[in-house]
Structure 1
């Protein structure tokens, strides 16, 4: 059995971290003697989440360029040089057979160094509109795994493989977790459950919406699991003392959270959309407008076009939220239809297919 050495790099948000962990888990099941190393950004959530998943991680001093003119941008060249230097040391010491990038600040320096040394590399692009890091890296990467059609606008066509996005494997069997999930969260089985997700870091606008609409929501005789994000937890935790409302900075067992849910309110990041397709529950997407090329709205619209979700833009929340939420709540038939339709869009073998592509690169190396 080959003693492969594999580096995975990406992070900043759960949308970059959890796909990398899913890929590592699949490769570990195939190559039990393989060594894995993650490379992330210092002080970002991957420094906690990756060790919790059982893998070693090295942190680089790196961050993105702010879109607005800010003093923080002055430090970017120094961070980049520091990260390139450390990435070289990591690659020289670990001697990887293949490097996998899932997006985020840290993947740029690491993959730049690896590709310059001729180490086979794979990029896993989750979004319908890729970030600048992956667009630059794609010129030297061997393989680019994507989740959407039409990305030949940004990447070399002959390198693109459509696989879908990796998801946590425990999402594939959430119905069998439902009983245990209710016990885990201390929920009442006779009440319907609303799950509110603002992304791994939280969403200011969704939190403001839920706070404003709490009394209205509770008129529907529901219980709420509200993941507000660690940045906002101190502000909103007071509502967790109210009966039928739970406020969480972060939810570690997302499979159980999904299992309890009857309706989900969510951002429309690529990983979230991929997970929700597999979960197969009725979803109201509230995409973030503060992303490149408005790609969250495009992600959500692709699902809505298949009659598989409800979309409310932030600018329309005041006018549309209560109306669209009520329409969904009073129609079990519509809830069932949306759940069935979104499940049809799931690409459940993404992780395995990406691992297949990694295996091809490993064979090239050996």
Structure 2
């Protein structure tokens, strides 16, 4: 969970914020559900329902993380619309239509995306969940079948179940404001970025670089965007093989960013450059074993906290006091400054079952 010293970063009042750089497509027609089910990493079945998912490349890397809003005769599809290495989503979908009875339209000029969090209305639907662990380290949320659909059924409103406490996601007609403004403070989009960083939720091209990121490394499994048991979809082969026979060696975690002699940054920049290398540095002279390999990557940052793609062995080393993760930032006059990124596990993160831990240790176990 966040270090206690960071608790003052969390807003204490209900808040609503616009989310920038989000495109909206309408995918409608009698074959829209079947069409999307063949392309998305999660199951898309009748009836038409809200959900979170992703489009993968044929080699199993993420192109887009997306939200689907149930609509008349189909879906509104929300995604990061900024240019990237991934093919434009509209043209990508149109290439796959073939003879399907599907119509795809760009609706970005008609809708905006907002997020609301912090009120009882934003959390009253929040129910407990169980977790399904694979031997590889992949994790899936298991929703209680006796409760309502986890992502909500109201038109234009998605229960953001990527993490506990994220609130709701709102599809709003352009030129209007969400109804939540009557009970929520309107805050900037940067406050939303801070909100999801503090909850350990990656989103969009800066956190999940298109054509580079694997879904489990980016926590898409934990956030409910991957179904490992559905039929064929683009990118399925590598994803399912990793689930059954691979090992998840990286995860995206929140980090505190500070100077070497500080616990937190006393006067942090609003943002640091994206994609900086986080290098593991040994701080325990008695540490045994090989030199730590590889680096992490710093992703979104705001007000001295951020998200980072980290090797699990580095996280363990930091927790044991053997390592720290450093990065350098260029300053004026060709000077550089050294910073530390200290990771923590979000308080909602699933706890590994003890029986699974014991089976990893005991080679005679059949589990």
* TM bracket, shorter-chain basis: under 0.3
The TM-score with structure 2 as length reference comes to 0.27
Q: Which has the higher strand share?
A: 2
Higher relative contact order by CA 8 Å / sep ≥ 6: 1 or 2? 2
The TM-score with structure 1 as length reference comes to 0.27
Q: Which has the higher helix share?
A: 1
